[in-house]
């Protein structure tokens, strides 16, 4: 399973509630008529991160069966009945960037409140040992590994429910980012969580 992550923030003059509604409306439209390989989607309001100019913003997770599902997702997002909701959200967006992450262990749970730890390992250190240690200490952790350096964020994303903490492996760098899940559009059940 892969996750296409999309980080974004609206223009300063855009009302937060309208922006969030446009995000969840697009995801509901996508889930109602999903492209091949699409599993689910969820959006989170996040604290400031460097890849959004050290400003707060949003983090969208699009879970896919594999990399082959990227082309259909890209095509479906801007066509058919999804185009209007996509274009509405895109017109309000000031900045955006994306990344591709592979599942490295744990269950994806889009709970209402969670924390994402962005981890960077020291060069030459096996990542499997560090992630295994994180999961041993925090079994509810959901770990993801960036693919082919596609994305501005750190190599690993470790999601934990609420404000749980993890034991960061020795020598690894960590950035803790609290996040709140945006509510789903009414009547949509294809999103995770």
Would 186 be classed as within a structural domain?
no
Would 160 be classed as within a structural domain?
yes
Longest dimension (CA), the chain: 49
Per the structure, how many domains does the chain have?
Answer: 1
Would 62 be classed as within a structural domain?
yes
From CA 47, how far away is CA 33, in angstroms rounded? 31
User: How far, in whole angstroms, is CA 155 from its chain's centroid?
Assistant: 14
Would 149 be classed as within a structural domain?
yes
What was the pLDDT predicted at 188? 40
CB neighbours of residue 130 within 10 Å: 20
Would 189 be classed as within a structural domain?
no
CA distance to 126, 160, 163, 172, per residue, from 7 (Å): 28, 19, 21, 23
From CA 7, how far away is CA 143, in angstroms rounded? 18
Would 81 be classed as within a structural domain?
yes
| Domain at 59, CATH number | 3.30.70.100
Would 190 be classed as within a structural domain?
no
CB neighbours of residue 83 within 10 Å: 14
Would 187 be classed as within a structural domain?
no
From CA 14, how far away is CA 34, in angstroms rounded? 28
Encode the chain (193 residues) as per-residue pLDDT tens digits.
Answer: 999 999 999 999 999 999 999 999 999 999 999 999 999 999 999 999 999 999 999 999 999 999 999 999 999 999 988 999 999 999 999 999 999 999 999 988 778 999 999 999 999 999 999 999 999 999 999 999 999 999 999 999 999 999 999 999 999 999 999 999 999 875 443 333 3
Give residue 18's domain range: 2-181
From CA 59, how far away is CA 180, in angstroms rounded? 10
């Amino acid at each position: 399973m892969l996750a296409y992550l999309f980080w974004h923030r609206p223009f300063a003059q855009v009302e937060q509630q309208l922006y969030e509604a446009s995000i969840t409306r697009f995801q509901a439209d996508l889930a109602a008529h999903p492209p091949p390989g699409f599993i689910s989607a969820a959006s989170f309001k996040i604290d400031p991160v460097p890849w959004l100019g050290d400003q707060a913003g949003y983090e969208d997770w699009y879970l896919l069966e594999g990399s082959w599902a990227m082309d259909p997702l890209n095509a479906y997002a801007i066509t058919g009945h999804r185009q209007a909701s996509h274009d509405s959200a895109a017109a309000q967006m000031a900045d955006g960037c994306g990344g591709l992450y592979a599942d490295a262990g744990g269950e994806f749970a889009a709970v209402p409140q969670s924390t994402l730890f962005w981890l960077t390992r020291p060069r030459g250190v096996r990542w499997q040992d560090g992630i295994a240690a994180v999961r041993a200490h925090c079994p509810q952790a959901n770990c993801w590994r960036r693919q082919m350096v596609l994305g501005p964020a750190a190599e690993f994303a470790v999601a934990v429910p609420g404000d749980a903490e993890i034991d960061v492996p020795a020598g690894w760098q960590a950035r803790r980012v609290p996040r709140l899940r945006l509510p789903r559009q009414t009547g949509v059940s294809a999103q995770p969580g």
